[in-house]
Amino acid sequence: VTLGIGDDAAVLEPKPGKRLLATCDAQIEGVHFEWSLIGPYQLGRRAAAVNLSDIASMGGSPVAAFVSLALPPDLPLESFDRLFEGIRDAMASEGASVAGGNLARSDKLVVDIFLLGEADRVLTRSGAKPGDVICVTGPLGGSAAGLDALRHARAHPDAAAAGDTTGAAVDGRLAGIAGAYLDPRPHLREGRAIASSAFATSMIDVSDGLAADLGHLCDASGVGAEIDAAAVPIPEGIEEVSRRTGRAPLDYALFGGEDYALLFTARAAAGDVEAWARGSTDGVRVIGRITSEPGMRLVRPDGGTVPLRPGGWDHFRKAEGG
């Protein structure tokens, strides 16, 4: 970035030979977040993470962010400062800077981030082939379960312990899982390691839910998939939430979304991928395989196989359904 905030446009000098990556994603008050569940600093980090994860899923490194904010007139100046600080900190910890943006007013807060990145080798959604193993870079379902934990604590304030920094006070045993929602870590290091490996064939980040994002990957690659339910990694603390909400841990993992782990396919034996991962990116687990037969199937712990449908979070489908 040779010229940042303050002129009509930012000026960047692209590094020779690198590919440029570009993505954008918005967080809208009342749609993507509620002020009673998340503070402005965490919202800023989260809005950054959503975009950083898109760069991670291509195997890239973030370079420069552009922040378009629509602010309600009654938003305290301190909240604005904390929000911006959250964005800046999350970007800085991955080597990127905020290079521009614009401000407007609006009834509801809109945080729209545009992020530029760069990569030597890009890994897309469309390279999966029958026989490839399906892998994830971390546990799934924590974000949706964490959001439910925060909602549960808000609905039952007496049962919740104090001493919490978020909007809702969360029981100590739930604080860990709440963090999966409030401060998801984009898997940038993992994404680069996977993209530069010899065996990776496709990659996507888990934003809509494992089933939905695997569906996107299968559609783009023209293949089907089989997932071993028992192999899907579940985060610690999720059973505590399941006990309160009645939603099974596997259901959170398959359909929860917003985990921002990476889902990738590899042309290798399962043991080889996990052995490679032990030396570089801990947390990688093989959870299934790509099939030539279209559609997705779930192999249950008892060995039975059931169809797996996307069923993940989809703003428009939800809106249409009322």
Which chain residues interact with a copy of itself by CB under 8 A? Answer: 2-3, 6-14, 16, 18-26, 28, 30-32, 53-55, 57-58, 60, 64, 66, 68, 70, 73, 99-108, 110, 112, 114, 116-117, 119, 122, 124-126, 204-205, 220, 315-316, 319-320
The b/e string for 110-148 (b: 16+ C-beta within 10 A; e otherwise) is: bbbbbbbbbbeeebbbebbeeebbbbbbbbbbbbbbbbb
Measuring CA to CA, which residue among 75, 9, 89, 4 is closest to residue 41? Answer: 89
State how far the Cα of 51 lies from the Cα of 4, in Å rounded to an integer. 19
State how far the Cα of 310 lies from the Cα of 315, in Å rounded to an integer. 14
Backbone angles phi, psi at 17, to 5 degrees: 85, -15
At CB < 8 A and 24+ separation, what contacts does 159-165 make? 165/39
**Amino acid present at 226:** E
* CB nearer to a copy of itself: pick between 199 and 313: 313
Torsion of CA 50, 53, 57, 58, to 10 degrees: 90
What is the chain's Cα-based Rg?
20
* CB nearer to a copy of itself: pick between 117 and 215: 117
* CB nearer to a copy of itself: pick between 52 and 140: 52
* CB nearer to a copy of itself: pick between 53 and 242: 53
CB of 13 to a copy of itself, least distance (A): 6
* CB nearer to a copy of itself: pick between 3 and 92: 3
Tokens coding 164:
């919490």
* CB nearer to a copy of itself: pick between 24 and 231: 24
Q: Mention every residue, 6+ apart, whose C-beta is less than 8 A from residue 318.
A: none
CB of 19 to a copy of itself, least distance (A): 5
State how far the Cα of 23 lies from the Cα of 164, in Å rounded to an integer. 33
CB of 106 to a copy of itself, least distance (A): 5
CB of 176 to a copy of itself, least distance (A): 27
CB of 236 to a copy of itself, least distance (A): 28
CB of 64 to a copy of itself, least distance (A): 7
* CB nearer to a copy of itself: pick between 191 and 288: 191
CB of 57 to a copy of itself, least distance (A): 4
